[in-house]
Amino acid sequence: MNLAAATNENLAHTSNVLIYSSMAVYTLAFFAHIAEWVFGSRSKVGRTAAALSGPAPADSAVKVRVAQQGGNTAVLDRPKVVTRSAAGSRDVPDGPGAAGGTFKGDLWGRIAVSLTVVAFAVQAGGVVARAMSVQRAPWGNMYEFSITFSTVAVGAYLTLLALRKNVRWIGLLLVTTVLLDLGIATTTLYTDSDQLVPALHSYWLWIHVSTAIICGAVFYLGAVGTLLYLFRDSYENKIANGGTPGRFASSVLDRLPAAKTLDTFAYRINAAVFPLWTFTIIAGAIWAGDAWGRYWGWDPKEVWSFITWVAYACYLHARATAGWKGRKAAYLALIAFGCWLFNYYGVNIFVTGKHSYAGV
């Protein structure tokens, strides 16, 4: 074995060690996020917010008598209404967040974010080491795509936090998904580092696949927002109709942003990345023309990429159509993300086509 081959093998081993190490740190972050939700549910602030989050007219302040001493009355005003539900019939404030507004819950949340930052850095190091071991872009097979995808998803989440966006409620679901993704990647999808077939040695590998990974990562965040919107919207509807949510719903869903906030978040995320997905398909067609002599051949991957594009286009159109706003549009968004998932896992594993060159 020559020196270069030995160096590449050592880099591949280093990459594996870093990926497994990141999984260990993500596991600690997972438990820290659990602690944030647990201690937040015991919050007096959280219980007070729950008591005040029922339906009320916009711009009103419901005053609750909390103490009376010497004829002086202290009052607690309802939090300022900042959002309106998708159906236009409810006015509710955003919840206090996973930490429930408590110092202890917030402390655990900050620990969880800090651990996520460390895990992200370690995982990114593993992806870079993998790239160096093969001296190409680190997304030549499903294993490499998976570890890069989850890295970008966490990076997008941390970027939103750095921009002071209220998205820490994504943390627990994100870390859970990343652990599942890395678990599948390291146990089922793992492939030894190797070179690609000659037709794929192109700078378009960096352009086309990188944009596909970015789109998938951001679409994932939008899907999380959409899914939680559906739960929160049902929760708000139940309260508005005089129902009494269960203890779990009151503890968890009441701390999430309002349904309208979640709906807006998901829409903006999906709308922002949709043009990049369009570019991804165009870039893939150009690369196909260079590699295979045709721009479009109705390969299964090409077909499902187009189906995904159509699904997200329908969702964005539905959001602009009065009769399809709210839950109907949210279902379309989840269907669209399901198409993206099948385009990656289903097509690569179960369908034979030109994109099967990478193997699993």
* pTM as predicted: 0.82
Distance of CA 306 to the CA centre of its chain: 22
Tens of pLDDT, residues 75-88: 334 444 344 444 44
Mean pLDDT computed over 51-68: 39
- Supply the pLDDT for residue 199: 65
Secondary structure E strands in the chain: 64-69, 72-76
Tokens standing for 212?
Answer: 């596909």
Cα dihedral 15, 110, 95, 78, rounded to 10, equals -160
Mean pLDDT computed over 142-161: 94
DSSP one-letter string for 112-136: HHHHHHHHHHHHHHHHHHHHHHHTS
- Supply the pLDDT for residue 47: 52
- Supply the pLDDT for residue 321: 79
Lowest mean pLDDT among 88-102, 172-186, 315-329: 88-102
Beta strands 72-76 and 64-69, pairing class: antiparallel
- Supply the pLDDT for residue 110: 96
Tokens standing for 62?
Answer: 């419901």
Mean of per-residue pLDDT scores for the chain: 83
Q: Which amino acid is residue 19, in one-letter code?
A: I
Check pLDDT > 70 for residue 15: yes
- Supply the pLDDT for residue 288: 83
DSSP 3-state of 196: coil
- Supply the pLDDT for residue 84: 41
Give the C-alpha separation, 252 to 98, whole Å: 8
Lowest mean pLDDT among 54-58, 180-184, 264-268: 54-58
- Name the burial class of residue 264, with classes exposed (0-12), middle (13-18) and buried (19+) by CB atoms within 10 angstroms of its CB: middle
